[in-house]
Amino acid sequence: MVRLARGRFLEAGEWNVLDPDEKYRAQVRAFAETTRTVQVFSHWSAAALWGIPIVGVWPSAIHVTVNPKSGQRSTRRVVRHLAALRDDEVVQRDGLFVTSPLRTVVDLARTARFETGVAVVDFAIARHRKDRDPALHVEHGLVIEAADQLANQRGVRRLRRVGEFADGRSGSAGESFSRVQIARAGLPAPDLQVEVIDREGRTWHTDFGWKDSALLGEFDGMAKYTRNRYLQGREVAEVVIEEKLREDAIRLATGFGMVRWTWPVASDVHRLERLLVSAGLRRER
């Protein structure tokens, strides 16, 4: 048995088939079931309940926001953020009180690493994402406005940088992280979700594109090859073959080169830089 919270357990077999997002979400729910006081889940815990992806690993602690006058303090198990939330900043989701989508992404953009802030804001402002809850949508302009409203508060400079860098066309946390790393490497900013119509009239989209360098790029996360909701009953070999045929069609239609990378490559900014330059990406003067 795996202990989720005081008096709450899950069989190891059930626990082991959950992905990291689902495991942390289960811990948050278990805590909610055992606590005696009403909690407003925020930051990472609210992100998990909203289904917002992050870059990196989920924390071990539960995150809630409490009124500064409450006298409650953080413990090893529960991080309590002090803030007086407005009524419109707290909503109910599946029976739990959580910070609103806007407040959640603003809190994370202020306190998390830059790449995580970019990933959560990219996800929240996206309009084309099929894997996102429609109730989650946040207007990009409101994130920018929040930075102005929180003028002298901690993390506002980071929030403003995240808001300016965010782009709702990003298709995954891995793509958001890759974009951050490309910028850190000082390489040209790519166009996103580049549309390609092949010789048979089919429309495809690639994650990244650099027209001046005649180069297309794809972040290749492992989820499409391992998670059932992406496989949709297909064998991994079938998915790999489909990806290869798709890539061939795109190459023939554009005449562009194409380069792929994974999490380990994206995590090493110098390795990603070498890969892109060797594939033909021209540096800016």
pLDDT at 225: 46
Which pLDDT band holds residue 195 (cuts at 50, 70, 90)?
very high
Which pLDDT band holds residue 222 (cuts at 50, 70, 90)?
low
Give the Å distances, CA to CA, from 93 to 32, 38, 97, 98, 154: 12, 14, 6, 7, 28
Give the Å distances, CA to CA, from 13 to 8, 16, 17, 245: 15, 5, 7, 37
Round to the nearest angstrom and report the end-to-end CA distance of the chain: 58
pLDDT at 246: 83
Closest CA to 127 of 169, 165, 166: 169
Is the model's pLDDT at 273 over the cut of 90? yes
pLDDT in tens, 137-194: 899 999 999 988 887 788 999 999 999 999 999 999 999 999 999 999 999 999 999 9
